[in-house]
Structure 1
């Protein structure tokens, strides 16, 4: 794919970002994607290219939506943190005060802070659930309420890949009577004019890109599994489809609220939200989080060996923080969240950068050459 095939607009100062994006298609196997960059609150790159379908017949359009997976974890956290600001939620109150059923089997001390920083010990459900169960909110939250922690809460951390959204979302629902997706739409995305969604309305499905999930999926290890192996397997595959395999392009998946995993949006929408965070929590007269709450939300809470990822990970409250192996530019103050396939939303308040990148391909998850090339081009253009 040539640079001429990339659509959209880009400030000449950031021509290197456009070039890197074009090279993702010509040299790095990108099938379809979009990237947006805001600097100092101004949109300086808004680009898209490739195709939104596996057959490569339908071009990606300016308003194409795509499932951005864990990019949505940060948006889920923002909803919860807004309720903390209002006093409807308490970061350090036992969760069972709002969710009585949750207080069973050693979970009496688990707090919202534990959930947001992946320290709750609940990355997986032990009970074997049927395929499609992830679409049933009550079934999933009941299973989590009955589940015993896989490790003593607060003593370690492990990425709550798919359970994070149910845990945080149920506390939000009990505190407010509303869902993560409803509050995101009404209080954050809508006022910001940011095209991001958790629970996509049927009327918007026609804009969705087909996500190109690998056709060959891992097989469950044979025989009885030890607890650690079972925990890791169930994190991704119980219930079958919880990570999106076999479901990601189905209307039921798109319409459901699975806040850890099934957020949809445009790169421009992701960058718009992060532009508010880069500016201290507000932009254009719309405040999504106060400066003190944002400062507290971006402090390191978990760093070190991750019991699920089997490598070091670093989390604030719902945000991923930079690591030497996975930087977000040169400045330590950056924060954001990656998504499966390489999608990424982040901001760098020092440089005034807000960034969104979305793709419909399950590329490398940990070290993704496409988003790395885009990040390098941003800071080279800035002269950093």
Structure 2
């Protein structure tokens, strides 16, 4: 397997770990990127973007990263808060009056960011085509009663979080979340990440390979809330091959990018609001991602979690080296980790999916190799 890209000599072990993912973990096409102090120190890609045709994974190949998209949604909200346009402690209904229906008048924006608003799925039957109708979906969520008392427990808002936060962003700015993200964050950084992919970029998209039978997101748990999140509508990786999915804005799930673009954007968090020499947020503004909101057994994921403002925090299911880390992963295995103490970001994106929503050993092995390279001595 030919590995493309470059690695700072301090992190040579990362190249070996990346190659091992193809040799032993079955990777088909993938990319990994790491930044240190806002600069790229590892940028690797290899394999094929389409297993059926053998089309190679190129430097500019992009792929649907599912819930890793949520970190871009979170950064967009953090940017508005940094500017004083959004107050996480205020009720959602202050920005979106219709949201107050059915006992939600006191639900605040921080609860949307931390998966604790009780809106982890839809009560009414929703089709895959409904996901492409922003007004319909946000109208349903505004009218819906919570599944549990908001603020009392975490429960992963797998698809709904992006619509909820995105509608708050739209009410404040008058623009869609994908538009605000593109114009205020991605474009200034030159980051090739899209929430709402133009048709002109379709040829660059790697084809996702669904998890093995019986290992999909709907098979993860027999919890009723998990089933509602995963089957209403069904989360089907084959849908990511359609123009409708790619072109829509589903800010919790349909972002397209590669490890490089994820790392360049997310290094804003690890590097005090600056990436590639461009300041987008203040350091205090990005550190708000670490503000603890809630912890406990996640009612949807069925595992211990600690949530900050839009990110998972150290102390939950994922082992992290210090309290100044935050992360999120996407269905199938994509992952981004921000270590604010080491001022480093790691990102992994691939097309062969595993039955995971929080990353797997392919990404973790790369992160471990990076941390070993960062260690003094």
Give the TM-score normalised by structure 1.
Answer: 0.92
1:65-76 → structure 2 map (5 Å cutoff): 65-76=62-73
Provide the rounded CA distance (Å) in 2 between the counterparts of 1:252 and 1:216: 25
Question: Any stretches of 5+ residues in structure 1 without a counterpart?
Answer: 222-227
Q: Aligned with 1:48: secondary structure?
A: strand
Contact 2:314 2:326 survives alignment (8 Å): yes
For the structure 1 residues 368 and 220, does the alpha-carbon distance in structure 2 shift closer, same or farther, using more than 3 Å as the test? closer
Work out whether residues 37 and 343 of structure 2, in 8 Å CA contact, stay in contact via their aligned partners in 1.
Answer: yes
* Counterpart residue number, 2:272: 280
Q: Counterpart of 1:352?
A: 343
Unaligned runs of 5+ in 2: none
Judging changes above 3 Å, is the alpha-carbon distance between structure 1 residues 38 and 204 closer, same or farther for their aligned structure 2 residues?
same
Indicate which of 325, 346, 362 corresponds to 1:334: 325
Once residues 93 and 379 of structure 1 are traced to their aligned partners in structure 2, the CA distance between those partners, rounded to angstroms, is: 38
Matched, 1:300 2:300: no
2:74·2:113 contact (CA, 8 Å) conserved in 1? yes
Note if 1:88 corresponds to 2:88.
no
Which residue in the other structure is 2:26 paired with? 29
TM-score by length of 2: 0.93
Judge which range, 19-28 or 264-273, deviates more: 264-273
Structure 1 contact 305–313 (Cα < 8 Å) conserved: yes
Q: Structure 1, residues 292-335: CA drift from partner, whole Å, max 9, x if none? A: 2222231221211111111101111001112364124x222111
Secondary structure of 1:340 counterpart: coil
Q: 2:301 and 2:316 mapped to 1: Cα distance? A: 16
CA distances 1:337-366 after superposition (whole Å, capped 9, x unpaired)? 111111112221222212111011211424
What is the CA distance between 1:132 and its match in structure 2? 1.7
Superposed CA deviations along residues 206-251 of structure 1, whole A, max 9, x for unmatched, are 1100011247467989xxxxxx9443211112123xx344311111
Q: Choose from 39, 47, 56 the match for 2:44.
A: 47
In 1, distance between residues paired with 2:161 and 2:240? Answer: 18
Which of 243, 250, 253 lines up with 1:261 in the alignment? 253
Whole-Å Cα distance in 2 between the matches of residues 236 and 180 of structure 1?
23
Q: CA deviation at 1:86?
A: 2.7
RMSD of the alignment, in Å?
2.0
Between the two proteins, the alignment pairs up a number of residues equal to 372
Q: 1:207 to 1:219 in 2, by over 3 A?
A: closer
**Distance (Å, rounded) in 1 between the aligned partners of 2:30 and 2:167:** 32
